[in-house]
Structure 1
């Protein structure tokens, strides 16, 4: 039984694991405390009560490591534009039906709090209009606000996503004109949301998404969720109940993980 949601709710987990990485080549196989990063993710995902947990990769080395340690994995194409496109192919290979809920569990965030997984499940349960459920947490500093690697989110009053950007949004005109970036004082007129890349969606949506062309805004910002908005899909977001640990993106992140 799934311990994190209504007993009638069933879901599967897919962990996209691409070998190429600009900042950390071969990232899924980088060892952290003697264990490959992709295995940290697979082991954590196996504790979530899902019907199945599958690693979707584009590299035989990753496939071999995952399978050698008793986890399920499938080979997908190397030319996928995004992780969601890779998950869509995984869904086809696994034969999941259109109504299957899929949790996109990021392979470079091995310590996602279980409470946040429960929460994203509850988001889609509570919002029948949602094609995607996701989470966010507060932006903590002006450095993060202006950091293009920290994706910002603006929502409406119904907690539906209006836009995602690598730029500091929303732009608070009166305060930004005089903002001292070194002060670490965020504008107070609005709250700033840092998007967390944890997604829940159905296979039917994945199929539509993978068949749709990349949106101009998606290409400009390099953010796949903008394709879903361009398609007119509803993305519902909630404030994460537990802080998200820092993902593994750089050599400094590896060192931080090793030292904790």
Structure 2
């Protein structure tokens, strides 16, 4: 729960990244206007976050590129079962630092906005919340797209609600929303999550959210109006490169020529 008497809670933002994506190999290093995706995600997080930003990666190549951009990273084990397990390894290395909240932002969200972070973080005001996240409207043509994770939620009149299931494919759109890859934990809920064994539905659906759901952890989500584009496939990458041209972002990010992947 957010301490309302504490004006500036200490926040740590962690971004998991790995090269071994099956749908889009070497995804974090794919170039968007000449800059690797993971650099864009990290720079975006640094721009809008009020705290420390660190990339957690099991690949030296990613860490080396980030180092050249003065972006902090930690080399993790390569065999983690989920992004949250990966960021926890980094969190443990920072045990001498105390954080009120840990934000896990997926490494394929290069254009998220500050409002998304603010609204998701505000859900931690509810003492019943273990994990906070976000959703947006699910389009009809996304129903059968297994690259898009769906959250089933009963929303209240403030567009907040507890999610009780996550899917890759659904038959009906009712109470189903497009899940956005951001999670907020406190130190207790993060530790609890990673100490749980991967659950049956987590392994079946390849969705780490189900580990929390099947162990009665409470995931509260906020519905936001805009969906920050994520990149899972070559088609997504083509779209994001076009989207970049119309996105209002600081274009001063520079990278040594030929770093990253086309």
Superposition TM-score tier, normalisation by shorter sequence: 0.7 to 0.9
Question: What displacement does 1:191 show?
Answer: 4.0
Q: 1:243 aligns with which of 210, 215, 226?
A: 226
CA contact (8 A) 1:14 1:105 kept: yes
Residue 61 of structure 2 is matched in structure 1 by 61
The answer for unaligned runs of 5 or more in structure 1 is 1-5, 172-185
Partner SS for 2:165: strand
CA deviations 1:36-91 (Å, max 9, x no partner) are 11100010000123320000000111001111111110011100010010011110
CA deviations 1:134-156 (Å, max 9, x no partner) are 11111111x21122222221224
CA RMSD of aligned residues (A): 1.8
Aligned residues: 234
TM-score calculated relative to the size of structure 2? 0.83
Q: Aligned pair 1:28/2:11, yes or no?
A: no
Residue 133 of structure 1 is matched in structure 2 by 132
Flag the 1:214–1:119 CA change in 2: closer, same or farther, 3 A. Answer: same
Radius of gyration: which is bigger? 1
Q: Aligned pair 1:12/2:12, yes or no?
A: yes
CA deviations 1:215-235 (Å, max 9, x no partner) are 101111111011011221111
Residue 151 of structure 1 is matched in structure 2 by 149
Q: Aligned pair 1:163/2:165, yes or no?
A: yes
Question: What displacement does 1:8 show?
Answer: 3.0
Rounded Cα–Cα distance in structure 2 between residues aligned with 1:76 and 1:23:
22
The answer for unaligned runs of 5 or more in structure 2 is 1-5, 246-262
Flag the 1:97–1:160 CA change in 2: closer, same or farther, 3 A. Answer: farther
Partner SS for 1:238: strand
CA contact (8 A) 2:54 2:71 kept: yes
Rounded Cα–Cα distance in structure 2 between residues aligned with 1:57 and 1:49:
20
